[in-house]
A and B are shown apart, each in its own frame.
Chain A
Amino acid sequence: MSKVAIIGGGIIGVATAYELAKLGEEVILFEKNYFGSGSTFRCATGIRAQFTDEANIRLMKYSVERWERLEEELGFDINFKQTGYLFLATNEEEVEAFKNNIKLQNKFGVPTRLIDMDEAKEIVPILNTEPFLAGAWNPKDGKANPFKTLFAYLFRAREMGVDAREYTEVVGLEHEGDTVTAVKFRNGGKIESVKVDAVINAANAWAPSINAMAGLRRDIVPIKPYKHQLVKTEPLEPGQAEPLVCPPSWNDSYIIQDGEDGGIICGSGIEHEPKHPWDYEPTYDFLVGVLRYAVRIAPPLKHAHVVRQWAGFYAKTPDKNPAIGKLLDNFYIAAGFSGHGFMMAPAVAEALADLVSKGHTKVPLDWDWYDPYRFERGELRSSAFQIG
């Protein structure tokens, strides 16, 4: 049994702690704020396998299969629902692009199909069908409650002995050559140190500073945070817009009905550079901008009331694919999820725990594709399909 430290108490860190504990490893997890406070608790809840490249499609197909069994495995209601994702095309070129994506997704077993607007209207009763020609529909995509999912993993991890600490900031790593030997962290007013056999950097938007602590260049994995926001309406009757509905050509804007209370969550690709590392300040331009798209997608929304607006970070890499793998002898990273961390967590956590504990995995995760050193080598991947 070895002792593994995980830095970052978001869904990736917490799920990986759970998977490592299942493999019999001793785990200590550090979160500098409260669990989920970084990006997980600010996400739009969506889970999809509708990507446009083999690596992300295969990873997400596996992840969705884990999501299907997660509630039973964790023994906790996480409100996972396969309500689908519906992408909408506004012109013929987009319809052609959808057809190509669908062909690729079908090749790897993802059952996406092209649907007409009559069928789309049946799936989303408040949809304005007029601007759209066709939809790409995968009924196996879905959504889950990010709060309950994180705590479900956390409760089970703690039962298996994981030492998970929040409000505990890591301030340094001790290393000898390419081996990290200890983690230094703040405990109340004093700095403590714990000897470890391996360290996982799961700090997402804050990962570059952890890499620097390991003696690496800060930008060895060039992750930059972008402020993305969401607006939510009052609860509507269930069934009005259960799938995530997105016309990508409308600035990646989307709506999705919250699986918990039926409010409509509205997102858009209107992004801002944060003014400081904790800049979660909502902006008025986003509020108005996102709602203009939302009422074009679903006109009845104009009668609803907005009850909340909040912000979080997309921790983006230059190709919008995460960096997953080994950076030094015993120092690993899973960060830079670019808005896809929540949906990928079940698959990535299992794969990463396998890598750290056993050196191999059955999870179909393409280690070359997500190689954290690809930026250093100037080998960018095709951009992961990203919305909102």
Chain B
Amino acid sequence: MSGNMIVCRCNDVTVEEIEALIDEGVTDIEELKRLLRIGMGPCQGRTCIPLVLSILARRTGKSPDEIPVPRARVPVRPVRVEVLVGGGDE
């Protein structure tokens, strides 16, 4: 993977940015997520989280199985507010 390759397409996060934070000592995926906003966009991490796990594993010498996956947030897919509140302005 080249450094400027985009890992998170929702928030434009590159391999370089992730590696730089890991080198600064931020090796917890919950913390990487919040500082770089990976997995916080509309795709809910479907694209980026597996890639981040592999970068993290490679950089820290851990096996990907040892790294916990961040908790998924509801809703699983974006839902229109209108659908949830019943459409009217009230």
Residues of A with Cβ closer than 8 Å to B?
A: 34-37, 41, 147-148, 151, 155, 158, 166, 233-234, 260-261, 280, 282, 287-288, 291-292, 294-296, 299, 301-310
Contact between A310 and B42, CB atoms less than 8 A apart: no
| B25-68 interface (Cβ within 8 A of A) | 25-26, 28, 30-31, 34-35, 37, 40-42, 44
Pair A303/B74 contact, Cβ less than 8 Å: no
Q: Tell me if A299 and B31 are in contact (CB < 8 A).
A: no
CA distance A280 to B74 in the complex (A): 12
Interface size class of B (residues with CB under 8 A): 20 to 34
Which of B11, B75, B81, B87 meets A309, CB within 8 Å? B75
Chain B residue at smallest Cβ distance from A306 = B79
> B73 and A306: CB pair below 8 A?
no
Interface centre among A36, A296, A305 (most CB of B within 10 A): A305
A287-B84, A292-B90 known; A305 and B35 CB under 8 Å? Answer: no
Task: List chain A residues, Cβ under 8 A from B79.
Answer: 305-306
Query: A205 CA to B37 CA in the complex, in Å?
Result: 26
Q: Which residues of B contact A (CB under 8 A)?
A: 11, 24-26, 28, 30-31, 34-35, 37, 40-42, 44, 71, 73-75, 78-82, 84-85, 87, 89-90
Additional pairs, 8, CB under 8 Å, beyond known A151-B35, A305-B79, A306-B79: A34-B31, A41-B34, A151-B31, A302-B80, A304-B81, A306-B81, A306-B84, A308-B40
With both chains docked as a complex, state the minimum distance between the C-beta of B27 and any C-beta of chain A, in angstroms. 10
* CA distance in complex: A250, B14 (Å): 42
Task: Please pick, from B37, B40, B42, B71, the residue contacting A305 in the complex, using a CB distance under 8 A.
Answer: B42
Contacts of A166 on B, CB cut-off 8 Å?
28
Least CB distance from B8 to A in Å reads: 12
- B76: min CB distance to chain A, Å: 11
Q: Is the CB of B80 within 8 A of A304?
A: yes
Question: Quick check: A305 and B34 within 8 Å, CB to CB?
Answer: no
Least distance between A109 CB and chain B CB atoms (Å) = 34
Contact A234 B78 (CB under 8 A): yes
Shortest distance in angstroms between A295's beta carbon and chain B's nearest beta carbon? 6
B74 touches A291 (CB 8 A): no
B89 touches A155 (CB 8 A): no
Q: Across the interface, do A148 and B74 meet the contact criterion of CB distance under 8 Å? A: no
A305 touches B81 (CB 8 A): yes
Inter-chain contact A291/B81, CB cutoff 8 Å = yes
Q: With both chains docked as a complex, state the minimum distance between the C-beta of B1 and any C-beta of chain A, in angstroms.
A: 25
Beta-carbon contact of B24 and A34 below 8 Å: no
Contacts of A299 in B (CB 8 A): 89
Contact B73 A308 (CB under 8 A): yes
A-B interface, 3 closest residue pairs, ranked by CB to CB distance from nearest: A305-B78, A147-B34, A302-B82
Closest A residue to B80 by beta carbon equals A305
Closest to A158 in B: B25
Residues of chain B lying within 8 A (CB to CB) of residue A41: 34
